[in-house]
Amino acid sequence: MLSEFLNITIIILSVFIFSLSYLGFGIFFKNVVIGNKLKINLGEIGLIGVFFLIIISYSSIFFVSHNSLHNIFILLIGVLLFFLNLKNFEKNELKLFFVLIILTISFFIISKNHDDFPYYHLPYALSLTENKITFGMGLLNLGYRHHSSILFLNSLKFIPIFKYYLFNLPNYLIFTFVNFVLIQYIIKNINKKNLIFLLSLIFFLLVNLKFTRLAEYGTDLAGQILLSVIFLNLISNILNKENIEKVYFNLILLFIIFSFKVYFILYFLIIPITLYFLKINPFLWKNFNLRLFISLFIFVGLFFSHNIINTGCLIYPISFTCFGDNFLWSLSINEIQRMDLWLEVWAKAGASPNFQVDDFESYVSGLNWFQNWIDNYFFNKVSDYILIIFFINLIIYFIYKKEIKFSAKELLLTKKILIPIAIFILSVWFFKHPSLRYGGYTPLAFLIIFVFLFFYNDKFKKKRLKKNIYFKTKILVLLAILIFNVKNFTRINFELNREDQYKFTNFPFFSVKEKNYQKFKLGDNNYLYVTDGYCWATPSPCTNTRRDGYSINGYLFLKR
């Protein structure tokens, strides 16, 4: 019992130290690249740190593996930057942030990870800690083809003693930064009782009541909860006519989620909409930020480079962006088109681990898939999610309906901008990849929430005392955190008592299955490790299908 308590204490200290590093890189990037005109809170600084660390991880892997020495160096640089810029952080914000970590640490303690963790999340991140960049990883595993910068961030958490047990930390820190930002939005706008206050409270409840299992995050959910911050920034930018630096900050957040999953590219339409309503021309010299433009250019260049290195595609599995047979290590065009069709069939409930339709092309044509999707996916996954959103909105409505009355400008913004954006993105999602994990959670929530807003605007509102709304909001926030912890402690108790391979055997560290494997030499001092089924923590590069390869100047190239 004493050792378990000590391990949890060490984990909490590690979370604190890594969070300081993220904040250090974030404040450094903000001051040097964006400038002092951008006024943001601690959580938003942490999110900028996420962006900068993605650039660092994308870059350094070309020269050195993300081994313990590399990662400790990066960690210490970030912590040093934090303390050098300590005066830029408000003490109250730091206290609130560390309290949030203590109150949500149960979220981080899991025995079973995401279903794709043993399949490709762990093996791919582990490969980055053991090798420099490898060309053609997409040939080894279908999962390796789906690029996500989350896995690069995970690899930066490989340090002595912990090894890969902190690989979930980026998702946890993003969850905490988002929570912090939402709380700050609630605090700043509670007196105004406006649209931003209401939305930030609803999003806070949704994140902490629905997305409470770290094992569900994988490489998808972090981007979807980040969208709540992006939309709040969009609303604040337009209503408050904020400066160009605030728009730049939202652009950085969009690049982050795009690097998590490419389907977030649709949300970039937020930027021209914001600039149009603010009447800002970003190409005028007074608005143009050369340092940020260069940073974004580097980010995009590295993002596409890693996609090409993995699969031979700028964006997998969009075949017209692929080089096909031009490289020995790239996927063939036929294979890419086959996988594009397969992924659409899977998203439209035409395939599962135990079932698949016979004719893929006929199934995805038109709305042939719709009835099966309704029967096997809408009920009960989508319907349950809709009920949760509806329930949260209903509670908020009955609690705050006498306090909140939106301005004509807020209602016009909702009607003319927010709802059309949600409908457009939801339509693309529905007709192409209608699975909640593929970007469906956020636009569906937005649409229901935005429609609900019109019920607040009646003519018979009565003014209430400020302390009344303060009290109710505190109770709701504390109740959400309580329910969040009850759900997670219940899960932890279940995982302590389960009898399968995911039972806690090294509490509080998650379970990792040991695998037998064969070792095959590839080129000079390079090896391929072959095992049956999922690779788990098998040495890398790992696969269940043997491939040939060769090395050039210390880089491994796998052959199609």
Q: For 257-272, how does the pLDDT look when each residue is reduced to its tens digit (9 = 90+)?
A: 999 999 999 999 999 9
Q: What is the predicted pLDDT for the residue at 454?
A: 85
Residue 244 lies in a domain: yes
* 267-304 pLDDT, tens digit each: 999 999 999 999 999 889 889 999 999 999 999 999 99
What average pLDDT does the segment 230-256 reach?
95
Q: What percent of the chain has pLDDT over 90?
A: 85
CA dihedral for 498, 502, 506, 507, sign (positive or negative): negative
pLDDT tens readout for residues 111-142: 999 999 999 999 999 999 999 999 999 999 99
Percent of the chain with pLDDT over 70: 98
Q: Give the number of other CB atoms < 10 A from CB of residue 214.
A: 23
pLDDT value for 380: 85
Residue 366 host element (H or E): none
Asked if 508 and 105 count as a contact pair (C-beta separation under 8 A), the reply is no
Cα first-last separation, the chain: 51
Q: Which amino acid is at 224?
A: Q
Last residue of a domain, one of 304, 332, 367: 304
Whole-Å CA distances, 494 to 111, 190, 489, 490: 10, 38, 9, 6
* Domain-terminating residue out of 304, 323, 343: 304
Residue 433 belongs to a domain? no
Residues whose CB falls within 8 Å of the CB of residue 161, separated by 6 or more in sequence, listed in order: none
Average pLDDT over residues 26-50: 96
In sequence order, the 6+-apart residues with CB closer than 8 A to the CB of 159 are 68, 71, 72, 75, 166
Please name the residue ranges forming H helices in 401-465.
Answer: 408-413, 419-432, 441-452
pLDDT-derived band at 455 (thresholds 50, 70, 90) equals confident
- pLDDT at position 463 is 55
Q: Is the pLDDT of residue 356 over 70?
A: yes
Q: Domain for residue 318, yes or no?
A: no
Residue 406 has pLDDT above 90, yes or no: no
Where does a domain end: 272, 304, 336? 304
Structure-block tokens of residue 173 = 């820190």
pLDDT of residue 460: 46
Would you state the pLDDT for residue 187?
Answer: 96
Structural domain of 197: 2-304
Mean pLDDT of 34-56: 96
Q: Is residue 395 part of a domain?
A: no
Is position 546 within any domain?
yes
pLDDT, mean of residues 225-235 = 96
- Going by the DSSP 8-state scheme, the letter that residue 135 receives in this structure is B
Taking residues 206-224, what's their average pLDDT? 95
Q: How far is CA 290 from the centre of its chain?
A: 27
Taking the C-alpha atoms of residue 394 and residue 392, their distance in angstroms, rounded to an integer, is 5
Instruction: Give the tens place of pLDDT for each residue, 52-88.
Output: 999 999 999 999 999 999 999 999 999 999 999 999 9
448 neighbors 390 (Cβ within 8 angstroms): yes
Of 117, 135, 123, 86, the residue nearest 526 (C-alpha) = 135
Predicted confidence at residue 466, as pLDDT, reads 61
What CA dihedral angle connects 42, 48, 52 and 57, to 10 degrees? 90
Outline where 240-357 has alpha helix (H).
244-260, 270-278, 290-311, 333-347
How many folded domains does the chain comprise?
2
| Residue 343 domain flag | no
What single letter denotes the amino acid at residue 295? S
Residue found by looking up tokens 């600039």 in the block: 275
Residue tagged 């005028």 (tokens): 284
Q: Is 512 in a helix, a strand, or coil?
A: coil
pLDDT at 467: 65
Average pLDDT over residues 313-317: 94
Task: Report which secondary-structure segment, H or E, holds 556.
Answer: strand 555-558
What tokens does 498 get?
A: 């389960």
Contact between residue 347 and residue 329 where contact means Cβ atoms under 8 Å apart: no
- The answer to whether position 166 is within a domain reads yes
**Residue 332 in domain:** no
Q: pLDDT confidence of 456, banded at 50, 70, 90?
A: confident
Q: For the CA atoms of the chain, what is the radius of gyration?
A: 24
Give the model confidence (pLDDT) of 159-193 as tens digits.
998 999 999 999 999 999 999 999 999 999 999 98
